[in-house]
Amino acid sequence: MNECTTADPGQSAPAAPPGEKTFVANLKGDNVVDSSLKSRRTSSKFVHCNLVENGKNCRRPAASSISKKRFARITSELKLNMRLRNMQFDTVNVCRSHKRIFYGMMAPNAVAETRKLDNVTSYDIVKAAILKMSPKAVRRYKKTYGIDVDSSLTHEKVTDVMVEHCLSQPIDTGQVVADLLRKLKSYVPGDSDGDEACD
């Protein structure tokens, strides 16, 4: 059974009994000394989100970091009632929940690109996919489905023929749903989304 004790400055790690591993942890979360490995490593176990929201300290585990400049800009734009608990660092540790707020903000050019997607059709999507195919993959596609195209046609025309053929194929919705369910069942989340409430 592992035994955890508080580190005492100037005191070496206690000797581990045969067959057992012990470690001395600094409760500030700075370093962990594993006496069995005789090594020191940085521990992030005790690193929390550095934000204070509506007067409450967020105690969720930190999942990412942002710059103070980005924090100031977004809190100002969104008029968020949020401040930093610790001002001494250049970057701000944030939890998964708060990360969505700060990394969800898009630049004006990204917003414009997103609006363009409103007018995207299935034809555009399939055409973009075919244009990314390698010449070998295109030849294999044409050979598999017996698509005979005139060699005098331009690359653009050949692409259009392939797109029309692809869109004309019947879709087995049951198979699509089955594939999706199989992927969902095999999905293993790494950890929780960190949606615990602030203290």
The confidence band for 76, taking pLDDT boundaries of 50, 70 and 90, is: confident
Distance CA 55, CA 70 (A): 21
**Per-residue pLDDT reduced to its tens digit, 87-127:** 777 788 888 888 877 776 555 555 566 566 667 788 888 89
Residue 164, both tokens: 């029309």
Distance CA 165, CA 181 (A): 27
Per the CB < 8 A criterion, the answer to whether 62 and 85 are in contact is no
pTM listed for this prediction:
0.35
Strands 31-34 and 39-42: antiparallel
Which helix H or strand E contains 56, and what residues bound it?
A: strand 56-57
Concatenating the DSSP letter of every residue in 167-181 gives HHS---HHHHHHHHH
Looking up tokens 């944030």 gives 94
**Per-residue pLDDT reduced to its tens digit, 167-181:** 998 888 888 888 888
Domain assignments of the chain as residue spans, ordered by start: 3-42, 51-105, 118-185
pLDDT given at position 119:
72
Rg of the Cα atoms in the chain: 28
Per the CB < 8 A criterion, the answer to whether 22 and 2 are in contact is yes
- With left for phi above 0 and alpha for psi between -120 and 50, is residue 67 left, alpha or beta? beta
pLDDT given at position 163:
92
Per the CB < 8 A criterion, the answer to whether 53 and 198 are in contact is yes
